[in-house]
Structure 1
Amino acid sequence: MTMRKILILAAACLPLAACSTAMEAVKGPELAPMVYPSALVPAQQAYLPEATPASANSLWRTGARSFFGDQRARRVGDILTVNIDINDRAQTQNSTNRQRSNSASGGVSNFFGFENSIGKLFPGGFDPANMIGTEGEVSANGSGSVNRSERVNLTVAAIITAVMPNGNLVIQGRQEVRTNREVRELTVAGIVRPEDISSANTIAHTQIAEARISYAGRGDISRMQSTPAAQSLVERFSPF
């Protein structure tokens, strides 16, 4: 695809984006449609055969997956609960003080007899013994501090999207909640060990490797809190 075609396609999409933004400003943000995780679309899943009906006096419940078996998630498409309890705090304080001064001088007492001629060019005073002199001084002071605190306590259901060759499970979950004209979106993804899943089919966020947890929002409040696009560009690329 040539650059001209790309520009034409981008120009054609601009009215659609503007229309979508205008509709969102009038009606508020819409929830995303419920979809199957993209990682599961090409996967070939093996479904269990339907359970055969049992007699009325049997303890076996029709449709049960297992009687004494482990009910924890372990296959592609199974659901498990992720408990997110983040209570992090970071505090650092640094200071730097640097200072350096130097001086150097040099002279030539005899330079092929031209030292007298050089003295004539500078009648204000010329000393061959101190022909060259330099001085320098450098000082720098810096200080910085970080005081950050984060607290997130949420629960979200995730789906197993893949089983790795070593048995670890790749999970992905998403949750959206709309309150008035604001949508809060929670996403979680990562890799877990089947042994870390509790008997209640739950797992803590600290047991998720390569965890990607996002808790953000979109709507009127988020739009008012965000920096305008033009101002963000100026602040990002300004050399001052």
Structure 2
Amino acid sequence: MRTLKHGVSFVLALSLTACAAQPAPRPVPDDPYYAPAIPEQPTQQATPNGSLFNGEINGLYSDIRARSLGDIITVRLQENTSASKSATTGTSRGTSVNLPTPTVLGRDLSFRGYSLSANLEGSTEFSGDASADQSNRLSGEISVTVIRVLPNGNLIVRGEKWLTLNNGEEYVRLTGMIRPRDVSSDNTVLSNRVANARIEYSGTGSLADTQRQGWLTRFFNGPIWPF
């Protein structure tokens, strides 16, 4: 009966873990969250009056840098990160206790010819080494649109790019905040100049699926597994 209870508990825990370990919904192209912002058209169009000056047209000395809602900015991805960590731990302890044979009236006390002395010794040792190295690199370009202009002039940008390959699709998504002064004259900005940046590079299809662990494997490699 006890074995049956343990078996039911294990199956229940496994089922709950499987439900909690379900993968997130797969990303799809044309996600409304990454859709470009389209500015509203003015309700009244300017009527030509024959003048050479038109306030709706940029001046002769204006540049092409983005500054308004719906404008496009090209972000040059130049991400290089590396981390290294190592740790070494060693501990040891020794204990020794010597209990001589007790005496009574100057004579050693014994029991049936066996001495009552005792000698206890003990020692413990622990040593551990750990090291971790990680490096990542991402380069390329992605064009994003301005979805919001903050009161201080900073620009909130967001966008995605999808590439369809033979065995699936790859995508790059980017969101963040840009200072207009960091945008170069050719309307580009480096990714390390994007504040609060969130860059996502991944893929879908058979190649991406083979690189993901199944839910049962994630369970045995997770912190819930007691062994």
TM-score by length of 1: 0.63
Q: Structure 1 residue 33 and structure 2 residue 30: aligned?
A: yes
Aligned pairs, how many?
197
- Relative distance call for 1:180 and 1:143 in structure 2 (3 A) is closer
* CA apart distance, 1:100: 1.3
Q: Corresponding residue for 1:96?
A: 88
* Distance in 2, Cα, partners of 1:86 & 1:144: 24
* CA apart distance, 1:77: 2.2
* CA apart distance, 1:141: 2.9
Q: Structure 1 residue 71 and structure 2 residue 36: aligned?
A: no
2:214 to 225, 228, 231: 228
The gaps in structure 1 that reach 5 residues or longer are 1-20, 22-28
The gaps in structure 2 that reach 5 residues or longer are 1-24
* Distance in 2, Cα, partners of 1:153 & 1:136: 55
Q: Corresponding residue for 1:26?
A: none
Q: Corresponding residue for 2:122?
A: 135
* Distance in 1, Cα, partners of 2:67 & 2:176: 15
Q: Corresponding residue for 1:81?
A: 74
CA contact (8 A) 1:190 1:211 kept: yes
Q: Structure 1 residue 204 and structure 2 residue 204: aligned?
A: no
* Distance in 1, Cα, partners of 2:151 & 2:53: 37
Q: 1:172-213 deviations in whole A, cap 9, x for unaligned?
A: 111111123411110011111111011111100010111111
* CA apart distance, 1:70: 4.0
Q: Corresponding residue for 1:125?
A: 115
Whichever residue aligns with residue 122 of structure 2, its letter is E
- Relative distance call for 1:135 and 1:64 in structure 2 (3 A) is same
- Relative distance call for 1:34 and 1:102 in structure 2 (3 A) is closer
More helix by share: 1
- Relative distance call for 1:75 and 1:106 in structure 2 (3 A) is farther
Identity %: 22
TM-score by length of 2: 0.67
